[in-house]
Amino acid sequence: MAVLWDASRELLTVEEAAKYLGVKQSAIYTWAWRKTIPSVRMDFRLLFDRDDLDKLRGESLG
């Protein structure tokens, strides 16, 4: 089944996501593995939508 992706969304690498959230890269990998945050695999890279990271930020702050 094909999945459509909105090209206007900003995808971040593990390193970028970790810096954005102020956590270690290992935390990002753990959250992705536990499905705490949605992730996308592209060309052997794990990517994260900035909007999803913002939601996680809001949940942890609120």
Amino acid in position 43 = D
> Residue 33 to residues 7, 37, 39: CA-CA distances in angstroms?
24, 9, 9
pLDDT score recorded for residue 2: 45
pLDDT (tens digit, 9 = 90+) per residue, 6-55?
A: 666 899 999 999 999 999 999 999 999 999 999 999 999 999 999 999 99
pTM: 0.80
> Residue 53 to residues 2, 8, 60: CA-CA distances in angstroms?
24, 16, 11
pLDDT score recorded for residue 39: 95
Answer CATH for 11-61 from 3.40.50.720, 2.60.40.10, 2.160.20.60, 1.10.1660.10: 1.10.1660.10
pLDDT score recorded for residue 1: 47
